[in-house]
Structure 1
Amino acid sequence: MTTKPHDQFAKQFLEELLAPLGEVRTNQEVRDETRFVDILFTPASLVQNPNLGLLGRIALMNTALLEPFRNQPSSSEIRNCFLKLFAVIANAQRKAKRKKTRLSEDSLARLWIISPSVSETLLANFEFKLDLDNWPSGVYFFQKGFRGAIVAVNELPVTAETLWLRILGRGETQRQAISELLALPKSNSLRQNTLKLIANWRIVLIQQEDNLTEDERELIMNLSQAYQQWEETTKQQARLEGQRQVVENLLRFRFGAVDEELARVVDSLLQLSPEEFTPLCLQLSREEILARFANN
């Protein structure tokens, strides 16, 4: 397990995006010596890709081990990722054997290493290859039988399909992805939930300000715009919630309770300023309020 801010954000971020699709287990222990998979995801049956693009495609293929890195992993770290994969596959095969069933090759788990970039040397050493007939640039596959791939985030095409993976990049790749995130409609729940996670990530980094590396200082700058947007939205939501309580209290004062009919006019009243809705709530009769605002 780790306390590194990027690792914690990446796990929370991927868990937030994948939870509607199936079972997400973080820091999942796998047996030989104790090892922990960053994200072990098992898709639910009959679930559809909820606009997660490439990430959704990866997750819904079958059980997935997702290992996000802030920096390019070393050869040793990649080998350790494969050890986790083989342990997960062996465990699944043991369970199938106890049930006297057989797992097909295509049903076995896959490893997806997510790296901000990948050097030519690393690609050559592990013989990772592109599959451009079926996958976008930046997705490199290991030999077929090993069921593993590495995603070079900085090489992914800049499209909506890759947005949720490019947020885990670095430098300009990450800045571009965050700008695209902010451009999404404010009604998009993934947008707001991701902004909240980014804000928390930045807060954790700021708290370590005396010991920040140059990379972490750059990261704080990358996250600042998203943090400001989240902060403004949060303040606005707090103001609206406060005003909602005022309106409900005024209606409760006048009429004893906010029943179902009165509850339906609250949103319409909130379109007015406090200076406008306060006298209306205090002066109009129940019938007048319902007639004026119930159909808005």
Structure 2
Amino acid sequence: MLPSAQKTGIIVIHRLPRTPKTRWFRILGKEGVQRRAIEEVTELPQGHPYRQSTLELLGNLKVTLESQANIQPEDRDLIMQLSPLYLEKIQAAKQEGKQEGKQEDRQEIALRMLRKNMPLETIAELTELNTEQLQALQSQL
């Protein structure tokens, strides 16, 4: 028995209501409760502030579970459920990298054109960079 000053309690995860505030606890649950909580995460819109960080944490959980020597059957099920989310995270990172690469390529091309004193309007049209971006690049020369 714990002293009353420690204010302890027991949370029965499978009895928690299905709300965003209880999602993290329910992700820690087992079987159907956990599966439904993870599905709720996948249903969050792409721009939702918690979606990306939650996917990253669930991806880390997947990697941690996979690194165990003796994987329990319920952990195998969880790994299978987390695999599509992990792939989604990887695809998003690749896409972001491609976009950053394209932006860097455009900037490099614009810098070459600026060195040749081409008109800003022409460079903007060819590289799809705006005037402010071109002026910032011009200041680097």
Q: Is residue 159 from structure 1 mapped to residue 16 from structure 2 by the alignment?
A: no
Superposition TM-score, scaled by structure 2 size = 0.72
Q: Is residue 238 from structure 1 mapped to residue 97 from structure 2 by the alignment?
A: yes
Q: Is the 8 A contact 2:55 2:86 kept in 1?
A: yes
Using the TM superposition, give the Cα deviation of residue 145 of structure 1 relative to its aligned residue in structure 2, in angstroms. 4.6
Q: Is the 8 A contact 1:174 1:222 kept in 2?
A: no
Partner Cα distance (1:189, 1:249) in 2: 32
Identity across the alignment (%): 30
Counterpart position of 1:121: none
Counterpart position of 1:179: 39
Q: Is the 8 A contact 2:106 2:129 kept in 1?
A: no
Task: Tell me the amino acid that sits aligned with residue 121 of structure 2.
Answer: E
Q: Is the 8 A contact 2:41 2:51 kept in 1?
A: yes
Counterpart position of 1:286: 120
Larger % of helix: which?
2
Give the match's secondary structure for 2:10: strand
Q: Is residue 216 from structure 1 mapped to residue 50 from structure 2 by the alignment?
A: no
Q: Is the 8 A contact 1:178 1:226 kept in 2?
A: no
Task: Tell me the amino acid that sits aligned with residue 169 of structure 1.
Answer: G
Deviations 1:239-262 (A, max 9, x none): 112212111211122124xxxxxx
Q: Is the 8 A contact 2:62 2:79 kept in 1?
A: yes
Runs of 4+ that moved beyond 3 A:
292-295
Structure 2 counterparts to residues 36-55 of structure 1, below 5 A = none
Aligned alpha-carbon RMSD (Å): 2.7
Q: 1:235 to 1:165 in 2, by over 3 A?
A: same
User: Which ranges of structure 1 fall in alignment gaps of 5 or more residues?
Assistant: 1-78, 87-143, 257-283
Deviations 1:41-83 (A, max 9, x none): xxxxxxxxxxxxxxxxxxxxxxxxxxxxxxxxxxxxxx7xx5x
Task: Tell me the amino acid that sits aligned with residue 55 of structure 2.
Answer: L
Q: Is residue 189 from structure 1 mapped to residue 23 from structure 2 by the alignment?
A: no
Using the TM superposition, give the Cα deviation of residue 293 of structure 1 relative to its aligned residue in structure 2, in angstroms. 6.2
Q: Is residue 168 from structure 1 mapped to residue 2 from structure 2 by the alignment?
A: no
Give the match's secondary structure for 1:164: helix
User: Which ranges of structure 2 fall in alignment gaps of 5 or more residues?
Assistant: 132-141
Structure 2 counterparts to residues 242-261 of structure 1, below 5 A = 242-256=101-115
- In the alignment of these two chains, the number of paired residues is 126
Partner Cα distance (2:12, 2:119) in 1: 64
Counterpart position of 1:205: 65
Q: 1:169 to 1:150 in 2, by over 3 A?
A: same
Partner Cα distance (1:294, 1:213) in 2: 55
Q: Is the 8 A contact 2:13 2:29 kept in 1?
A: yes
Partner Cα distance (1:204, 1:163) in 2: 20
Deviations 1:117-149 (A, max 9, x none): xxxxxxxxxxxxxxxxxxxxxxxxxxx654112
Partner Cα distance (1:156, 1:145) in 2: 25
Task: Tell me the amino acid that sits aligned with residue 85 of structure 2.
Answer: A
Using the TM superposition, give the Cα deviation of residue 156 of structure 1 relative to its aligned residue in structure 2, in angstroms. 0.8
Partner Cα distance (1:153, 1:225) in 2: 25
Partner Cα distance (1:239, 1:147) in 2: 51
Q: 1:211 to 1:164 in 2, by over 3 A?
A: closer
Using the TM superposition, give the Cα deviation of residue 188 of structure 1 relative to its aligned residue in structure 2, in angstroms. 2.6
Using the TM superposition, give the Cα deviation of residue 192 of structure 1 relative to its aligned residue in structure 2, in angstroms. 0.7
Superposition TM-score, scaled by structure 1 size = 0.38
